[in-house]
Structure 1
Amino acid sequence: MTETALIAGNGRLPGVIAAALAAAGRAPAVAVLDGCSPDLPPGVEPLRFRLERLAVLLDTLAARGVGRVVLAGAIRRPPLDPEAFDPRTATLVPRLAAAMSQGDDAALREVIAILEDWGFRVVGAEEVVPGLVPGPGILTGTPSAADRADAARAAAIVAALGPLDIGQGAVVAQGLCLALEALPGTDAMLQFVAERAAGLRPDPAGARGVLYKAPKPGQDRRVDLPTLGPETVRAAARAGLAGIAWEAGGVLLLDRAAMVAAAEAAGLFLWARET
């Protein structure tokens, strides 16, 4: 019996979860949405599915004995072919369309509701791979008083933007917001800071700035938690920042040891900030 299914989008997170479960002797059934290319471990043969045939996928997973489902990885809304819907999935279209019109959070909540209608228990990544979400504390480095003030300012900005369903991150330096995360993602935000925002700091010798990440207020934390990894650290270094802070208990670290090593090499701090 296959106990766990992993429904995967893009990025490293699906592979991290699949590898950890396999190492524990509980390899999951992996289903990948058409158009996505997650970084999966060698030997994993995923089920490929289209959203227009979601009901067929869920019936297949139920027949395999799946009891719980993990959603992991970035997904962009795919184009839908009205002629490709199977009859059962077609009955879900009004629910999905209404939710999608309200933003990503509403769409994800509706997907969870549909999975629960099929009898699956939807769980967060941290439940199946303990340790992905660190508690409060400084992992490396020492944020200055100015860095702490910038992190607090960024946290307030991210919280204020949460109801608008825009993004989960901001960069603040010397009290000024240099960039906000939007649909292009964290890497694009940091690239913008590196290329265009360096000269916006009022005091070139002052605080260099902080990247802050946190879940949107009120979001279902079983899905779409922000993620950070070693490449985020390297991108923050290229942007000239002093460090990275995030809401303790609210962000997934894809490779904590590699993140700490990259931060120490670049002279950045890493801080799971208690709210």
Structure 2
Amino acid sequence: MSRLGIIAGGGALPVALAAADPTAHCVAFAGAEVALPEAQVERHRLERLGALFDALRAAGVSRVVMAGAMMRPELDHSALDPVMLSLMPRLAQAMQGGDDGLLRLVIALFEEQGFAVIGAHELLPDLTAEPGLLVGDQVTETTRGDIQRGRAILDALAPVDVGQGCVVAGGLCLGVETLQGTDALLDFVAATPDHLRGERRGVLIKRPKAGQDLRVDMPAIGPDTARRAARAGLEGIAIAAGGVVLLDRPELLTTLRDRGLFLLAEP
């Protein structure tokens, strides 16, 4: 089988992928924070993307998975190699839009170089959830109404590529995930005064954007998401079955259970 290349960002996902495939070739961009041991990671500058492609081919890599949190790049234009110089018009245009357009371009660039781009969930099927209630008591019809309201909000925002999550309580949207991420959303909700929230506790709805390529930037929740949701006073989390990564799954489920929150996966 062809060798796997892991383009690693922050968080636990690259570590899990590397543990599942010890022969994988792990790379990360200069300055990126990764949880993998530094000796296990080959560093490359984004300005020299041509050198990265050459290094992956030299290592026998033909399949690539992109995993972990990555920040938007700040490029040193004086250090661009010929490959990056040729790509700059496309990259500059993509960076004017949302993350989805930029990530689609990244996928296209790797595929144009002959690499097959695959999703982390294809390598680790247990990363996502089958439909059903994973933790907690039966979800009430009233709460399901909040979940449906959240889905409608996310569907409406998908064309403008805003976010993958929102919090709804009693039909009211208490917050929408933006560039700052889910943690910032939950912290914002936690700070919302009671008189604005009403009597309902609220639900975090987390789903991919409509039409999103799930090979990169699949939504994720983990134990810290559960802890922040509890601090925000929520009653649970609703995710897309097969469309959201469950980081540190055993700890995530235990944390939710201990704090009395439900986790529901819906088609």
Q: Same fold (TM over 0.5)?
A: yes
In structure 2, distance between residues paired with 1:217 and 1:198? 32
- 1:44-77 Cα distance to aligned partner (Å, 9 max, x none): 5211112111110111101111010001112221
In structure 2, distance between residues paired with 1:62 and 1:197? 55
What is the root-mean-square deviation of aligned Cα atoms in Å?
A: 1.5
Instruction: Tell me the equivalent position of 1:229.
Output: 222
Q: TM-score, normalised by structure 1?
A: 0.92
Instruction: Tell me the equivalent position of 2:79.
Output: 84
Instruction: Tell me the equivalent position of 1:105.
Output: 100
- SS of aligned partner of 1:39: coil
Aligned residue runs from structure 1 range 24-43, under 5 A: 27-40=23-36, 42=37
In structure 2, distance between residues paired with 1:77 and 1:126? 23
Q: TM-score, normalised by structure 2?
A: 0.95
132, 135, 146: which one aligns with 1:137: 132
2:5 partner letter: A
Q: Tell me the CA shift for residue 237 of structure 1.
A: 0.4
252, 256, 263: which one aligns with 2:256: 263
Unaligned segments of structure 1, at least 5 residues: none
In structure 1, distance between residues paired with 2:39 and 2:166? 36
CA contact (8 A) 2:98 2:162 kept: no
In structure 2, distance between residues paired with 1:140 and 1:77? 35
CA contact (8 A) 2:237 2:264 kept: yes
CA contact (8 A) 1:172 1:210 kept: yes
Q: Tell me the CA shift for residue 35 of structure 1.
A: 2.3
CA contact (8 A) 2:163 2:179 kept: yes
In structure 2, distance between residues paired with 1:51 and 1:19? 25
2:249 partner letter: R
* Stretches of 4+ aligned residues off by more than 6 angstroms: none
Bigger CA drift: 8-17 or 68-77?
8-17
CA contact (8 A) 1:2 1:29 kept: no
Instruction: Tell me the equivalent position of 2:5.
Output: 5
1:74 partner letter: A
1:13 partner letter: L
How many residue pairs align between the two structures?
Answer: 266
Residue identity over aligned pairs, in percent, reads 52
- 1:93-146 Cα distance to aligned partner (Å, 9 max, x none): 112112222321111111111101111000000111121111211101122222
Q: 1:199 to 1:9 in 2, by over 3 A?
A: farther
Q: Tell me the CA shift for residue 2 of structure 1.
A: 6.7
Instruction: Tell me the equivalent position of 1:59.
Output: 54
CA contact (8 A) 2:127 2:245 kept: yes
Aligned residue runs from structure 1 range 14-25, under 5 A: 14-22=14-22
In structure 1, distance between residues paired with 2:238 and 2:28? 31
Aligned residue runs from structure 1 range 204-219, under 5 A: 207-219=200-212
2:123 partner letter: V
Bigger CA drift: 182-191 or 13-22?
13-22
Instruction: Tell me the equivalent position of 1:158.
Output: 154
Unaligned segments of structure 2, at least 5 residues: none
Q: Tell me the CA shift for residue 190 of structure 1.
A: 0.4
Q: 1:35 to 1:246 in 2, by over 3 A?
A: same
In structure 2, distance between residues paired with 1:160 and 1:152? 12
Instruction: Tell me the equivalent position of 1:246.
Output: 239
In structure 1, distance between residues paired with 2:150 and 2:240? 11
Q: Tell me the CA shift for residue 199 of structure 1.
A: 3.6
1:120 correspondence with 2:115:
yes
Instruction: Tell me the equivalent position of 2:165.
Output: 169
In structure 2, distance between residues paired with 1:253 and 1:197? 30
